[in-house]
Amino acid sequence: MKEQIGPTILAIESSCDETSAAIISDGKVLSNIIATQSVHEQYGGVVPEIASRAHLQHIVPVVHQALQEAGISKSGLEAIAFTQAPGLLGSLLVGASFAKGMAQALDIPLIGVHHMQAHVLAHLIEDPKPQFPFLCLTVSGGHTQIVLVRSPLEMEILGETIDDAAGEAFDKVAKMLDLPYPGGPLIDKYAQTGNPLAYEFPIPNIPELNFSFSGIKTAVLYFLQKQVKLNPEFIRENISDIAASVQYTIVKTLLKKFEKAAKQYKIKQIGVAGGVSANSGLRKALEDLGHKNGWEVFLPKFEYCTDNAAMIAITAHYKMLHKEFTDLRAIPSARAEW
Ligand code: KG4
Ligand code: ZN
C-alpha cells in the first residue's frame, strides 16, 4: 500500500518584527525565509507602526523566496497557515490578510496558529525530538512560560511571569548599558568574557511555578545609578562583568522554577523555546541541569528559536492532520488564551 504523504503548507509569521515564510511538506521543512527589520534598532525597541509597514514591504518577496527555495509552485499548496495570536495587532493583520487572500484565491484551507504553541513545537521540526510528555521553558521578548506538552496539540501552562518577560529583562538592562535593541544577544556576547559572580542581584521569591523579572530590572537600574555617580566610566569599564552577572541572575531565576516543575511533574525530557533560548548561558545551564538530574535536554537550532515561520508550519502540519482549520472570517488577536 502506498504510504500517505502529509500535506504541503505555506506558513507565514508576522507577529512582531520578523517577516517569515516557510514551506512544509509531509512534516519536513523545505524552506524557512526570515526578513529581520533592523529599522527598529535606532528607536531602542519595536515601533508597531513601522513594523506593520515593513511586513507589507517584505511579505511578497519573502513568500516568493520560500516557494522558490522549496521548489514548490502555488498550485502544489494544500493549506495556508498564519500566526493568529498573540503579537502586535497591525503586524498580525498583514500576515493574516495575506494568508486569507491566498487561501481564497487557491481555494484551499486556512490554518490560524498560536505563536507560543508554535515556539514549543519548534522541537518537532528536526531530530532529535523529545518524547511526550515533555516540559518546555518558553522564553521570549513577550513571554516566560513553563509548558507541559502532552502531545503536539495538548499543552498546559504550569507557570508564567507575573510582570516582565525574560527577554524584556535582557533588553531593558541592555538599554541601561546603552546597547541597541534587541539587547539580549549583546548581553550574551559581553557575558562570555565577564565574571558572573562580580555583582550580586536578588533572585525573586515568587509563589508556585511563576516568575518575576521587574525586581531584577529595578535592582540593576539602582545599582548602575549608584556606581555611575562614583565613577562615570563604570559601565564602559565593567560591561562584561555587569552583563555576565545579570545573565547569571536571569538564568538562575528561570532554572530554579523549571527544575521545580520538572521534579513536581516527574518529567525527564526538557526543552527550551523562544528567542531567549538562543542565550548561550541558558543553554549551558540547561545542559548542566539535565546532566545533574539525568534528564534529556532538547535545544532547537538557533534559526528555530527566534521568531520564524518553520515553527508555524510544523504546528499547522499537526493541525491539518487533526482537521483543525480556521474560518476565513477569523481575525487575529494581540492577546490570546490557549
Ligand atoms: O521569540 P522572539 O524572537 O520574539 C518574541 O516573540 O518576543 O524573542 C525575542 C527576544 C528578545 O528579547 C531578544 O533580546 C531575546 O529574545 N534574545 C536573547 C538572545 N537572542 C535573542 N536574549 C538573550 N540572549 C540571546 N542570545
Ligand atoms: Zn516569538
pLDDT at 338: 58
Give the closest residue (by CA) to ligand 1 atom 23. 184
Distance (angstroms) between ligand 2 centre and the Cα of 142 equals 7
- Nearest atom (ligand 1) to Cα of 15: 6
| Alpha-carbon dihedral sign for residues 220, 225, 229, 233 | positive
Residue 117 corresponds to which cell in the numbers above?
A: 504553541
Q: What is the mean pLDDT of residues 293-315?
A: 96
Specify whether the CB–CB gap between 324 and 26 falls below 8 A: no
2 — pLDDT class (breaks 50, 70, 90):
very low
Question: Residue 7, preceding bond cis, omega within 30 degrees?
Answer: no
Go through the chain and tell me how many residues it has: 338
Ligand 1 pocket residue status of 274, Cβ below 6 Å: yes
The CB of 85 under 6 Å from ligand 1? The reply is: no
pLDDT at position 164 over 90: yes
Q: What is the CATH number of domain 130-300?
A: 3.30.420.40
| Domain ranges in the chain with CATH number 3.30.420.40 | 8-120+305-321, 130-300
CB 9 within 8 A of CB 313: yes
What's the average model confidence in pLDDT over 149-162? Answer: 97
Provide the pLDDT confidence category of residue 49 given band limits of 50, 70 and 90. Answer: confident
Which has more confidence, 65 or 37?
65
- The verdict on the CB of residue 306 being under 6 Å from ligand 1 is yes
Q: What is the average pLDDT value for the chain, to the nearest integer?
A: 95
> Does the Cβ of 276 fall within 6 Å of ligand 1?
yes
Nearest Cα residue to atom 3 of ligand 1: 306
Backbone φ, ψ for residue 270 (5° rounding): -125, 150
What residues have CB less than 8 Å from 232, skipping those under 6 apart? none
- Reported as half-sphere exposure (CB side, CA atoms, 13 A), residue 281 has a value of 28
How far apart CA 51 and CA 46 sit, in angstroms, is: 7
Instruction: Tell me the per-residue pLDDT of 16-29, one tens digit each, with 9 for 90 and over.
Output: 889 999 999 999 99
Q: What is the pTM of this model?
A: 0.93
Atom 20 (ligand 1): residue with closest C-alpha?
Answer: 185
Q: Which pLDDT does position 3 carry in this prediction?
A: 55
User: 227 C-alpha to center of ligand 2: Å?
Assistant: 34
Classified by CATH at the fold level, domain 8-120+305-321 comes out as Nucleotidyltransferase; domain 5 (3.30.420)
Nearest-atom number in ligand 1 for the CA of 307 is 3
Label residue 337 by pLDDT band (50, 70, 90). Answer: low
182 touches ligand 1 (CB under 6 Å): yes
Q: Tell me which residue has cell 530554579.
A: 256
CA dist 337 and 326 (Å) reads: 16
Interval between CA 306 and ligand 1 midpoint (Å): 6
On whether the CB atoms of residues 248 and 194 are closer than 8 A, the answer is no
Q: Could you report the per-residue pLDDT of 199-248, keeping only the tens digit for each? A: 999 999 999 999 999 999 999 999 999 999 999 999 999 999 999 999 99
How far are the Cα atoms of 15, 137, 241 from residue 116, in angstroms, in the given order?
11, 11, 32
